[in-house]
Structure 1
Amino acid sequence: MYLIVGLGNPEKKYNATRHNVGFGVIDVLSEKYDIDLTEMKFKGMYGKGRIGNEKVILLKPLTYMNLSGESVRPVADYFKIDTKTELIVISDDVELDPGRIRVRPGGSAGGHNGLKNIIAQLGHDEFARVRVGVGKKPPRIDLADWVLGHFDKQDVAYMKDAMDHAADAVRVIMEEDVNAAMNKWNGVKPDAE
């Protein structure tokens, strides 16, 4: 069974912000594979279903971004998820151009506080992740203001495709492996270009 986690912030005012693309990808997976997120437990909202032949749990931590691990860890423990082989985390990435996808088998948090907290809670950084580019912050704008802001009109066009691509990357990770997803999606330019 795979645990697929999309990172974001729970309040309505954060909907469609740069920091909430992880929630957006979970919404795409939920709709595409008919998995309703109706369970409210473990400081998160989740649903169980299937993607292809794999049983999955889709999770949106409701802890706010910086405490995401406080939801991920108890869900993983309860459902006996091997967090090194059965956990996939989807997050935003300010180092990538809007709409680009980067799949990684593990590694550092890269300055992302949600990933940092998950790594701290799990005690390792060996879980797959799908990072969705939201663009570098312009000079003289605070990073928090940037990631909590909404996309510019020109970037909105990229983001629907990006979230679809990220959802596909999740499927490829499960059906094949992380390397196959990296080969397919890393470096691909957004469709809207």
Structure 2
Amino acid sequence: MPRYRKRSDGKPEPGAVRRNLSNCPCLWRVCGRLDDVEPPPLDGLLRIMIVGLGNYQIQSSRCSVGMAAVNILAKKLTVDATWHLDRRCDAKVAVAVYGHHEIILLKPQQFMKMNGVSVRRAAEVYQVAPEDIFMIHDQIYIPLGKYVPGKEETIRDHSGVISCKNEMKSNLMTSVMIGIGPAPRTTKRGRLHHKLGRFSEVQQRKLMQVLEQCTNYLLEDLVKC
């Protein structure tokens, strides 16, 4: 790491350490705070991160189906009782081992358009590369009852995904989209109201079926790796 200037009393110049860290060439930019970084996984395990994008304050809304999906994953992996708030990345975290993978389940505790901040911090803390991150999120361009593993052209203008890409400075993350269906009104306000609204009882049953299928797909795909 480059040296920083010291004052006449031998102490670092105010702000010098912060500037120095911001220019650090290491991959995770965590020099000076190694105590905050999790150790690598056990030998033979590949660490991945599965993120449920959404609005933490309204987790029952259509736009938070990603969080509902990771909740189901936590139950399937029998770690649903271990959710805890990791203040280092401002997210709820549960850790599971499945086959040859150590899985970091993540629910950002920020608004959707800020989800990427939590994802970037978690990637630094748990030392996960962008290509080992899976984002589960809603998509209004896909009918309710269907899910689609990420295709770049269909992600479009999802604010949570855009936030993650901008913060991670990478397009290598995998996206798994859960259809919530189109908004009844095509105006910007109409789409927003649709995303923040809740599913009806009939829609909820349909959603649970597709979430079951989606989470099974993710786990089966991991077995093949």
Tell me the TM-score range normalised by the shorter chain.
0.7 to 0.9
3-state SS of 1:21 partner: helix
Bigger relative contact order (CA 8 A; separation at least 6): 1
- Cα distance between partner residues in 1 of 2:211 and 2:101: 20
| 8 Å contact from structure 1 (residues 19, 147) kept in 2 | yes
- Cα distance between partner residues in 2 of 1:55 and 1:106: 26
1:166 aligns with 2:214: yes
Amino acid at match of 1:153: E
| 8 Å contact from structure 2 (residues 185, 191) kept in 1 | no
Runs of 4+ in 1 over 6 A off after TM superposition: none
| Residue among 142, 145, 153 paired with 2:193 | 145
Quote how far apart the aligned CAs of 1:15 are.
2.9
1:54 aligns with 2:101: yes
| Corresponding residue number in structure 1 for 2:163 | 117
| Corresponding residue number in structure 1 for 2:224 | 176
1:73 aligns with 2:87: no
| Corresponding residue number in structure 2 for 1:93 | 139
| Corresponding residue number in structure 2 for 1:83 | 130
Quote how far apart the aligned CAs of 1:34 are.
1.3
Q: TM-score, normalised by structure 1?
A: 0.84
| Corresponding residue number in structure 2 for 1:28 | 72
- Cα distance between partner residues in 1 of 2:138 and 2:101: 25
Quote how far apart the aligned CAs of 1:106 are.
5.3
| Corresponding residue number in structure 1 for 2:53 | 7
| Residue among 120, 131, 135 paired with 2:181 | 135
In percent, how many aligned pairs have the same letter?
20
Quote how far apart the aligned CAs of 1:152 are.
2.7
Give structure 2 stretches of 5+ with no counterpart.
Answer: 1-46
| Corresponding residue number in structure 2 for 1:18 | 62
CA root-mean-square deviation: 1.7
CA deviations 1:5-47 (Å, max 9, x no partner) are: 0011112xx2321101001001101111112212422111101
| 8 Å contact from structure 1 (residues 7, 91) kept in 2 | yes
| Corresponding residue number in structure 2 for 1:184 | none
